[in-house]
Amino acid sequence: MRPEPIGLPHEAPLRIAMVSMHTSPAERPGKGDAGGLNVLVLESARALAARGHQVDLFTRSAGAPHAESVAPGVALYALETGGGVVRKHDLPNHADAFGEELRRAAEAASAPYDVLHAHYWLSGLAALPVSLALGVPIVQTFHTLAEEKNRTLADGDRPEPERRIFTERYLAHEVDAIAAVSRAEVDVLCDGVGAAAERVWLVPPAVDTALFQPAPVDARHEVRARLGVHPEDRLVVCVGRVQPLKGQDLAVRMLQHLPGAVLVLAGDATPGAERYLDSLHDIARDTGVAGRVRHIGSLDRPALAQLLDAADVVVVPSRTESFGLVPLEAAATGTPVVASRVGGLMESVVDGETGVLVDGRDPFEWAEAVGGILDDEDRRLELGLAGRRTAARRDWQDVALELEGVYRSVLAAHPAR
């Protein structure tokens, strides 16, 4: 793995095309297929633009093609491909058509792009031929990898198709560089996918500590009151798209061992996971905690910041995560996190310092970890303060600086340049 890149601020600004085929960077996280990827793409684009670069975002439109400005120096182009809503597992069949639209858009741009940055395997599948046709270097960020997801499948969950596995391996060998979000992802890329270590760069995400920060006590009480949480109740929050991979069933089962705690689930069901959402209600009813579970759907970013701040503990029971933005956002608000000891969560949660990592999926052991924080106010405050300090060490400008270093490195090495 290469060391973290160093930006070269005195060089000319770059024209960057970021590709997110399957989900719009402007989509609300927690809704549909939107999640941490959307946050990372949009925030890194804004930070790059703040450094003087021009960033164009490309996504697939489910309706008419359109363009809009989403921030100074950042434009979003929704390209018409597939004729309306397309299920995620059918999207690979539209990658070639999307790539053709992307190539046309790039050729029609006011000036050539210096670099393509593909987010998720579908974007790489569509953008790699464009990179080759136009002689523009391409950087890939996978966000999740089929190799790891299939290793940690929940019972009844659909495994990732072989086409994705083969495509990720092909992309890992063909792209100019890979920007990985965690050391855990670097390990999977190099040991499982076969990526060459010298082309993998570590560029972890950051958090907006101006948005995600501790709020006055009265504001927290208002949020809890809106949720129907009594002042004497302890508030446990679980944020993420509702799907087996995120493990919300474990959070619900845990609640029967936490008397006096209320669990709030924030996030919509991923398309195709509606039955899983129904099963959460069944589990809550069967374990006698239905009256202490609230499912509130997806939230906009300010409302999410308020919810994380109002929580006593945030739980992240995912089966795997390449990184995990929610723990970092919770830490920025001063709220301790209890998370699975898997993947990138071992980097976004400092065990014993900003939260607690739990081995396995025993609801009682999870309840013990959460209860140990809920029942010890001094410990909860100590973990929260350490989390805030940790989150403040890195911001999106650091991400932009490191990405700029990756881009300039591949430009310098690219034959066409």
What pLDDT does residue 3 have? 45
Q: Report the largest interatomic distance among the alpha carbons of the chain, rounded to a whole angstrom.
A: 65
Q: Six-digit token pair at 42?
A: 């949009």
User: Which token pair is 411?
Assistant: 């430009």
Write down the pLDDT at residue 8. 43
Q: Is 212 exposed, middle or buried (0-12, 13-18, 19+ CB in 10 A)?
A: buried
Report the alpha-carbon distance of residue 372 to residue 385 in Å, rounded. Answer: 17
pLDDT digit string (tens) for 264-273? 999 999 888 8
pLDDT tens by residue, the chain, 417 residues: 654 444 444 589 999 999 999 999 999 888 878 889 999 999 999 999 999 999 999 999 877 888 999 999 999 999 988 766 667 778 899 999 999 999 999 999 989 999 999 999 999 999 999 999 999 999 999 999 999 999 888 877 889 999 999 999 999 999 999 999 999 999 999 999 999 999 999 999 999 999 999 999 999 999 999 999 998 899 999 999 999 999 999 999 999 999 999 999 999 998 888 999 999 999 999 999 999 999 999 999 999 999 999 999 999 999 999 998 999 999 999 999 999 999 999 999 999 999 999 999 999 999 999 999 999 999 999 999 999 999 999 999 999 999 999 999 999 998 765
Lookup: tokens for 264: 């709030």
What is the pLDDT at residue 301? 95
- Quick one: which H or E segment has residue 385? helix 377-391
- CA 214 vs CA 62, 211, 296, 350: distances in Å: 38, 9, 22, 19
Element holding 123 (H helix, E strand)? helix 121-134
Distance CA 148, CA 372 (A): 31
Instruction: Give the angle subtended at the CA of 33 by the CAs of 88 and 56, to the nearest 5°.
Output: 95
Summarize pLDDT for 6-30 with one digit per residue, the tens: 444 458 999 999 999 999 999 988 8
Are 212 and 332 in contact by the 8 Å Cβ rule? The answer is: yes
Asked if residues 256 and 236 have their Cβ atoms less than 8 Å apart, the reply is no
Residue 412: strand, helix, or coil: helix
Closest by CA to 209, choosing from 75, 51, 387, 74, is 387
Dist. CA 305–CA 22, nearest whole Å: 26
Domains of the chain in sequence order: 15-206+395-413 (3.40.50.2000), 217-391 (3.40.50.2000)
pTM of the full structure: 0.93
